[in-house]
Amino acid sequence: MIQVDPDWWKTCFDEIYLITDARSVCDQELTGKEVSFLEEVLELKPSDRILDLCGGHGRHSLELGRRGYRNLTVLDYSLFLIKHGKDTASREGLKIKFCQGDARSTGFSNSHYNIIIVMGNSFGYCIDEEDNRLILQEIRRLLRKGGKVLLELTDREFLLNNFRPSSQHQASEDIIVRRSRELGSEIVRARETVISKKKGIIRDGTYCEKLYYPEKISDLLTDIGLRDIEVKRDFTLQEKEGDYGFMNSRMIVTARK
């Protein structure tokens, strides 16, 4: 069995991640499509207070800022990604607040946000389900009455039906990424080996993702006090062919406080 450190997400997201996952997280065209989708499904207004939770380098918030949204906050645990996003916003003259922190306990004020988004399958990283529940409870605390949350999750059924135990792709002229995966009933574990043609192996690490049926995530959101829950399966805006791992097909879940 692939062994995964419960705190793997605290160290994984660095400059190597921006190379290995560049096909998804550094694709401006794809990000633009995803933001257009967010605008439509959440009926966003430029004045909305939006929290991009577990937002990495803030690619969605940066695009929203370019489109005139004025009250944007990005929170992520990775100090590297937060600094990367902050530097980009500064270069482009965008007023976006970037904060390093833990999604289970953000320290932000109660009922502050109209909109909270959790994109890129960033919910479900914690092996202990109680930690994932703490994130949902924090989301509820931060939302204003009537506020909306959108979660982008791994599509469990798609993954079960299209599971590939291994993959390889050329991330750059120098970098090759190899991944092996093990599928359990409620979690998928993966090992990622990143090989530089010049330097050899530069990363050999593991990570995991919790898998949710629509009924399971709906029950969790209901239990913490959210309502008007809607689930959309088979979501993808990626038009390029290839094995994108957990990002090939996602599940979109929306709810309201």
CATH topology of domain 8-154+213-256: Rossmann fold (3.40.50)
Of 128, 153, 13, which Cα lies nearest the Cα of 76?
A: 13
Alpha-carbon torsion (7, 28, 75, 247), positive or negative: negative
State the pLDDT at residue 122.
94
Q: What is the pLDDT of residue 24?
A: 86
pLDDT tens by residue, 138-167: 999 999 999 999 999 988 888 888 888 999
pLDDT for the residue numbered 160 = 85
Q: Which of 32, 9, 237, 242 is nearest to 252 (CA)?
A: 237
Residue 91 CB-density burial (10 A; 0-12 exposed, 13-18 middle, 19+ buried): exposed
pLDDT score for 29:
92
For the chain, give percent helix, strand, coil, nearest 5.
30, 35, 35
What pLDDT is stored for residue 185 in this prediction? 82
DSSP letters along 61-98, please? HHHHHHTT--EEEEEES-HHHHHHHHHHHHHHT--EEE
3-state secondary structure of 128: coil
Collapsing DSSP to helix, strand or coil, 179 comes out as: strand
Q: Tokens standing for 74?
A: 């990005």
Q: Which amino acid is at 201?
A: I
Q: Which stretches of the chain score pLDDT less than 50?
A: none
